[in-house]
Every structure is written in structure tokens, then in C-alpha cells.
Amino acid sequence: MSLLRLLRVFLVARTGSHPVGSLLRQSPQPRHTFHAGPRLSASASSKELLMKLRRNTGYSFVNCKKALETCGGDLKQAEIWLHKQAQKEGWSKAAKLQGRKTKEGLIGLLQEGNTTVLVEVNCETDFVSRNLKFQQLVQQVALGTMMHCQSLKDQLSTYSKENWEKT
């Protein structure tokens, strides 16, 4: 008897869901009983529904799929659910801001020893770049980048490359 089958027999006998003897007479094929939640079937009709919902709403594939799963494949209910979620989570506002230009910002320069880091953090207006919190953000980004570079430098210093020549 294989180890997997012995383990299955032991687990079933331990939980008491089936008598051990009936499992020994069954086929050696394992049963899969995992269920991760409601899923759309991979049929062509569900793919068509998903594409139609994406075309109608313009929302992402993941959000449209979640909407169809939540609403059981009902297209109108899925659209209503998507609009409610978009309003609740601010998807529309984020989509509007996506095309805006970030022409202003700050450049942070940090030097420690022989390592120097230069970071650029952009924003939409000069008012934001004058803000103390934004300036602290630039400092934190520069410091984080410096620490990352130093950790890489430490990793590289422990690595030694030797040239082996054929003799």
C-alpha cells in the first residue's frame, strides 16, 4: 500500500467518517474536496459575460470577475455591485487622477561615506512640494534607498569572485 493511501486510511479512521474496511476496497484515486469559494465556470458564456461587463463598465478584469462571482453571473446585478464598490472605494476618483501630470516635486540627495543617493519624488503642484510632510517623505525615501544600497553593498562584500585560469 502506498504511503499516501496509508495516510488517508489513518486520517479517515481517526476522524471516524468512514469505516476503514470500505476504504481499503475503494480505488486508489485520491478524492479532492477542497473548495475555495464561489467560482465562475470556465465556459465560453462566462467569459463572454466577463468581457461584456468589462466593456460596459471599464473596470478591471479582477473587479469584474469578482462582481460576476458575487452576483451569480447576473450581468445587471454585477454592474450595480461594481458601481457601488467603485463609489465606496473611490475607483472612479483614482481613474480621473490617472492622467494628471506631475511637473513639480523635490530631489533628495543623501551622502554617507563614499555612497551617494539621489531620489526624485514628483507631485502636481509646488504647494505640495513646499509642505513639511512632503519634504519628510523625500527624506525617508532617500534614507530607505541608502539603507537598501548599503545592504546590497554588504552582500556584495561577502561575495568573492575569483578568476580561475586553465593551466
Q: Using alpha carbons only, give the angle 52, 71, 54 rounded to the nearest 5 degrees.
A: 20
CATH number at residue 145: 3.30.479.20
**Other residues' Cβ atoms within 10 Å of the Cβ of residue 54:** 15
* 100 in Cβ contact with 124 (< 8 Å): yes
Residues 94, 117 share a domain: no
* 28 in Cβ contact with 2 (< 8 Å): yes
| Predicted TM-score of the model (pTM) | 0.41
| Least confident among 34-48, 82-96, 101-115, 123-137 | 34-48
Residues 105, 59 share a domain: no
Residues 49, 89 share a domain: yes
Structural domains in the chain (count): 2
Residues 86, 50 share a domain: yes
Distance CA 141, CA 106 (A): 11
Residues 83, 128 share a domain: no
Domain hosting residue 94, numbered range: 45-98
Give the pLDDT of residue 121.
95
CATH number at residue 84: 1.10.8.10
pLDDT tens for residues 21-79?
444 444 444 444 444 444 444 566 688 888 888 888 888 888 888 988 988 888 899 98
Distance CA 82, CA 67 (A): 6
